[in-house]
Structure 1
Amino acid sequence: MTRPPWTDGLRLALTTFTVAPVAGPQRLDRPVAGWSMRLAPAVGALLGLLLGGVLTLLAAGLPALVAAALTVGLAALLSRGLHLDGLADTVDALGSYRSRERALEIMKSPEVGPFGVVALVLVLLLQTATLAQLSTRPPLALLACLAAAVAGGRLAITAACRRGIPAARPGGMGALVAGTVGPAAVVLGAVLVAALALPAVPHRPWQGPLTILIALSAVAALRTHLVRRLGGVTGDVLGFLSEISTTLITVGLVLF
């Protein structure tokens, strides 16, 4: 009997966004890809809870900065570094100031240029520094911070795959998932992430959802620019938006 598309979508989401030892989907088409993108924030929330638990344990016996650095490294490992790769490739393409076609070629190149290196260093430093600050919070608040940040990063991908946003090129991951998500899924994902963020700042419960709103608004502006610049989204663009969203959320939870 053929499985419903959401089950294969869940498998695709797990194998795309994590290193979970799960068998891949039996079918791979746009309906399955759409379910994968809808479920991305939920998978991100589970990954964030795992990372929050690890950070809590590490911070109990190690200096905060060391615990944070190890957690950031684990996050990259558990996601195969795909989003970091997309971050570097997208920044290299934007920094080239070349034509749309040449920018897309740069994104496909396996090499990382100076713009990409600087972006990677800056994002990883920001994530490490903010996690070091967040590691001093009570366990429940820390879990909420990590769950909301990682889920928010995946929600940026969901939102970039909504209907009306085209793929930048005919092939690749971007073409498979672009335009597969309806607006209701984006709204439900935002509600989920905002709810996760409520316990992040115990004495100011409104701060977590407000941080999510600000971060996602900034990422939406970046997405609009990228779609205008490149003609649509690619797999690298989705990774870039995810890393930027996660970073902005962790920074916001520290600053505001």
Structure 2
Amino acid sequence: MASLTRNVFVVLTFLCVLLSFVCFSNAQLSTNFYGSSCRNVAVIVRNAMRQAVSREQRLGASILRLFFHDCFVNVGGPTWTVPLGRRDARTASQSAANTQIPAPTSSLSTLISMFSAKGLSAADMTALSGSHTIGQARCTTFRTHIYNETNIDTQFAATRRATCPASGGDANLAPLDIQTPNRFNNDYYENLVARRGLLHSDQELFNGGSQDALVRSYSTNAVAFRRDFAAAMVKMGNISPLTGTNGEIRRNCRAIN
């Protein structure tokens, strides 16, 4: 965990310092926002990320989660043209994060409602949930699901209980995707169809509700998942962006300038 935290901090600090040198502009988000001020920004960021992920594979999931949090208040994967120019806020709210970001215990109706409040559809939510194809979760976030709920494969539940006791071990980790935890693919949806979703909120996507058909489709059609995930990421990146003179580009991502 300490190694992961250091790597995340190093990468984020590098990116923030890099972007702090570009010229300020009043333009809105644009895929060519740094076209004249830092033409190689995409190559520089990509190389920094590749080096960081090669040292710590969990970093890919951490950066993806960071992007999710910011927009709501062998990793690989699909590619898309990212609209740039989104600035950092000068304030932060832990309470807003706690109330606006879905919890791992969320029901399907809550998930749909919370994403809808940000302008994202139920289909967007289901596609974005596919980010759980990489990364890990703490025992405390899935204990209730593996011990007290019935919409779960019994063998999968038994496997997870081996490292997540009924009492204690809250910080013990388990992969969100048991098949290929370090590869970005559609195995997450195959797991849901097989009742092997690690979090309660994961399995809610395939539990006799409105998203069952889409989950089943993604489980057999990786191309459709990658396409829809990329489109939903662009939509999420355009949630209430701070641009122009609003906000700032932090020199240190952990603190305002």
Q: Same fold (TM over 0.5)?
A: no
User: Relative contact order (C-alpha < 8 Å, sep 6+): which is higher?
Assistant: 2
Using structure 2 for the length normalisation, give the TM-score: 0.27
Using structure 1 for the length normalisation, give the TM-score: 0.27
Identify the structure with the greater helix proportion: 1
State the structure with more CA Rg.
2
